[in-house]
Amino acid sequence: MTTIPRAPQVNPLPAQTRYTGDTLQGVPVISHLAVSDLAPGQRHRVYFQGVQMGTGQHWYVPVVVTKGSRPGPCIALTAGVHGDEVSGIDAVQRVMAQLDPTAMAGAVLAVLGVSRPAIELTRSLWPTAQQGGLAFDMNRVWPGDETGDNAPARHAGLLWNRLLINNVDAVLDYHTVTTGSAFTMFCFADLRQPAIRQMAELLPVEQIKDDPGLAGTLETAFVDAGIPALTLEIGEGRRFEPQKIALAVEGSLNVLKHYGLIEGPMGRTAADGGTVFGNALATVRATTGGFLELLVGLRDRVIPGQPVARQRSAFGDVVADYHAPVAGEVAVVARDALCEPGTRIVQILHQQPPAAP
Ligand SMILES: [Zn+2]
């Protein structure tokens, strides 16, 4: 796996939070955050000044810091790296609503919408004006680059250098699957790392994939920087899934209890929730164009050779039948019936034996 080098710090983080002097709808704007100098026992609501648009205005990222009255670690909850993945924003809002800063230790740094233009358009990728409209996957650019050759990379670099890296001790990054598919309540985590395994096992999610990480994701950038992080996938894009959000919130509060930020009994964990673990996702892709009839649903157990989907042409003729390549549990299904060749139809979480040495 290639490791993306750390972004150069163009303007090293000052020891103080830097207010630009602007306010937006009554909310102060900052260009740097130092959680250490915020008043304890309070909630702090700010806009973080992200990258500029072509006309010179900035994209502003909503940030809440709930800082406890006692010292402790700072946990970041990040949402909206992909713009159509709204359940993560809802989950983080719900976690923050349960925190009482006067009874808390440490701090929780909530980033409530990283990819602002993508969120405005409810789409996955960050749209730019470059080359007539290039769009960028914001979960392949971390840790970003403040001097990079596109706005999303610079935005990531600003957030990384001036908001995140110097403040946080652990990170939960909230996603969903992209529009057009459905996902279980899922978690990607590098279980080889004890601190990450501890966090993952506190989540009463449906499925956890032991995953070495993908270069350029926010999760992997933090892990490479020595900061425990994992990625939560809260079902479908574009709409809230309340039952899955509730599991994400319960697990997130468990993590905050684990780090000593809040007190109280642990909620349900992976052990209580019957979480299924795997280390591989087998992907079935459409081999032809056509309309899709799914024969399995999320969390169905499948065996090798079991039919999972059938595809018909515009005339109604069967043009393809698809079968499970492995034994495992369905994690992702296509939601769009129209299926171009190459489209992901089904993903199955399973356990792959370790490769021979
Ligand atoms: Zn995502």
Question: Same structural domain for residues 151 and 225?
Answer: yes
Report CA(242)–ligand 1 centroid distance (Å): 18
11 lies in some domain: no
The domain boundary residue, chosen from 223, 251, 276: 276
Same domain, 268 and 296: no
How many A from CA of 279 to the centre of ligand 1? 19
Point out the residues of the chain with pLDDT beneath 50.
1-11
- Cβ partners under 8 Å of residue 72, min gap 6: 104, 105, 106, 107, 259, 260, 261
CA distance linking residue 110 with residue 63, whole number of Å: 6
**From CA 92, how far away is CA 324, in angstroms rounded?**
35
Secondary structure in 3-state letters for 201-236: HCCCCCEEEECCCCCCCHHHHHHHCCCCEEEEEECC
- pLDDT score of 357: 66
Q: What per-residue confidence (pLDDT) applies to 14? A: 52
For helices 242-258 and 194-201, angle between their N-to-C axes, nearest 10 degrees: 130
Whether residues 181 and 316 fall in one domain: no
CB atoms within 10 A of CB 224: 18
- Let me know whether 169 and 312 are in one domain: no
In this structure, the answer to whether residues 216 and 290 fall within a common structural domain is no
On whether both 152 and 32 belong to a single domain, the answer is yes
Whether residue 118 is contained in a domain is answered as yes
Judging by DSSP bridges, how do beta strands 280-285 and 344-350 pair with one another?
antiparallel
Q: Are residues 303 and 328 in the same domain?
A: yes
In a domain, 1, yes or no: no
Write out pLDDT tens, residues 327-351. 999 999 999 999 999 999 999 999 9
Structural tokens at position 112: 């409530």
Give pLDDT, residue 58. Answer: 98
Q: What confidence score (pLDDT) does residue 210 get?
A: 98
**Where does a domain end: 276, 296, 325?**
276
| pLDDT tens digits along 189-228 | 999 999 999 999 999 999 999 999 999 999 999 999 999 9
Pairing of strands 301-302, 328-334: antiparallel
Could you tell me which residues come within 8 angstroms of residue 3 by beta carbon, excluding any fewer than 6 positions away? 215, 224
Tell me how far the alpha carbon of residue 14 lies from the centroid of ligand 1, in angstroms.
31
CA of 130 from ligand 1 middle (Å) equals 22
Q: What is the pLDDT of residue 9?
A: 46
Given 241, 276, 311, the domain boundary residue is 276
92 lies in some domain: yes
pLDDT at position 7 is: 46
Which residues have C-beta within 8 Å of that of residue 207, sequence separation ≥ 6? 184, 185, 186, 187, 275, 276, 277, 278, 299, 329, 331, 349
Q: Which pLDDT does position 11 carry in this prediction?
A: 47
Are 54 and 198 within one domain? Answer: yes
Please give the distance, rounded to the nearest whole angstrom, from the Cα atom of residue 348 to the centre of ligand 1.
18
For residue 137, how far is its CA from the centre of ligand 1 (angstroms)? 9
139 CA from centroid of ligand 1 (Å): 7
pLDDT of residue 295: 98
| Cα 356 from chain centre | 32
* Domain extent for 323: 279-350
Decide if 245 contacts 92 (C-beta within 8 A).
Answer: no
Ligand 1: distance of its center to the CA of 334 in Å? 16
Distance 186 CA to ligand 1 centre (A): 12
Whether residues 243 and 315 fall in one domain:
no
- The CATH number of the domain holding residue 329 is 2.40.50.100
Cα(81) to ligand 1 centroid in Å equals: 6
Tally Cβ neighbours within 10 Å of residue 303.
Answer: 10
User: Are residues 217 and 316 part of one domain?
Assistant: no
Q: What is the CATH number of the domain that holds 111?
A: 3.40.630.10
Q: How far is the CA of 264 from the centre of ligand 1 (A)?
A: 31
Residue whose token pair is 């892709």: 285
Q: How far is the CA of 117 from the centre of ligand 1 (A)?
A: 15
Q: How far is the CA of 44 from the centre of ligand 1 (A)?
A: 26
108 closest CA partner among 120, 122, 94: 94
Residues 269 and 288 in one domain: no
Residue-level pLDDT at 345? 98
DSSP strands (E only) in 7-104: 18-24, 27-32, 42-52, 58-67, 70-79
- Is 4 within the bounds of a domain? no
Q: 129 with 27, same domain?
A: yes
Identify whether 147 is part of a domain. yes
Interval between CA 122 and ligand 1 midpoint (Å): 12
pLDDT at 119: 98
Residue 9 lies in a domain: no
Number of domains in the chain: 2
Q: How far apart are CA 128 and CA 194, in angstroms?
A: 39
Contact at 8 Å (CB) between 266 and 254?
A: yes
Q: Answer whether residue 340 is part of any domain.
A: yes
What is the residue whose two structure tokens read 């026992």? 41
